[in-house]
């Protein structure tokens, strides 16, 4: 976490701004809650709520602005602009229950064309395909509602990219009353949404 690393069980982050923060070793350019084994994508009982926050210009390999994992992850009324990561240009989330409501995503990017800042990564540890220009979710029972996605991209140097705005891997995903405008996945793999 470039600004905050949270490892407690119940967390609230509210009315905060995160601008130009960077995490160079995997998780969350602004906020990270990760603990456990990345290769197994494990998590324990934990709740995190992030609301009424602003994220701009943050970067990390996973989750340009936020990387969060737990039984419950809630993001409400947030704005994400110009954040960058390989997976989840703005947010990288995994867990059993994920809610993302009333938020705006503008010009976030998933890309593997990273600077020398990230050269220390162990590229064999994880599947580093470019996924989720704005949002990457690994988990079931996700609900995305009343969100706006504009000008987000998933563009790899090998002309790949899945989910220009959203990439979801898991069952029981719901997307309701959301707006998608001019998002792009290089290679044509779900320019707005990729569900797996």
Phi-psi region of 89 (alpha: psi -120 to 50; beta: other; left: phi over 0): alpha
Contact 156, 130 (CB under 8 A): yes
Contact 100, 75 (CB under 8 A): yes
Question: How far apart are the C-alpha atoms of 162 and 80, rounded to whole Å?
Answer: 19
pTM metric for this prediction: 0.92
Please say whether the beta carbons of 89 and 152 come within 8 A: yes
Model pLDDT for residues 9-57, shown as the tens digit of each residue: 888 999 999 999 998 877 899 999 875 555 555 556 678 999 999 999 9
pLDDT digits (tens, 9 = 90+) for 153-194: 999 877 778 999 999 999 999 999 999 999 999 877 899 999
């Amino acid at each position: 976490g470039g600004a905050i690393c949270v490892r407690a069980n119940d967390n609230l982050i509210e009315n905060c701004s995160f601008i130009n923060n960077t995490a160079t070793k995997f998780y969350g350019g602004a906020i990270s809650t990760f603990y456990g084994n990345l290769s197994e994508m494990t998590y324990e009982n934990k709740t995190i709520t992030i609301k009424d926050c602003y994220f701009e210009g943050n970067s990390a390999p996973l989750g340009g602005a936020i990387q969060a994992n737990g039984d419950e992850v809630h993001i409400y009324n947030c704005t994400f602009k110009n954040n960058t990561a390989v997976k989840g240009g703005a947010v990288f989330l995994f867990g059993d229950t994920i809610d993302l409501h009333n938020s705006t995503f503008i010009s976030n990017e998933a890309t593997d064309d990273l600077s020398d800042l990230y050269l220390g990564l162990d590229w064999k540890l994880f599947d580093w395909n470019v996924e989720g220009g704005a949002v990457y979710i690994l988990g079931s029972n996700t609900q995305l509602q009343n969100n706006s996605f504009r000008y987000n991209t998933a563009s790899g140097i090998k002309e790949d990219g899945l989910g220009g705005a959203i990439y979801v891997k898991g069952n029981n995903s719901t997307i309701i009353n959301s707006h998608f405008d001019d998002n792009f996945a290089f290679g044509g793999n779900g320019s707005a949404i990729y569900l797996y």
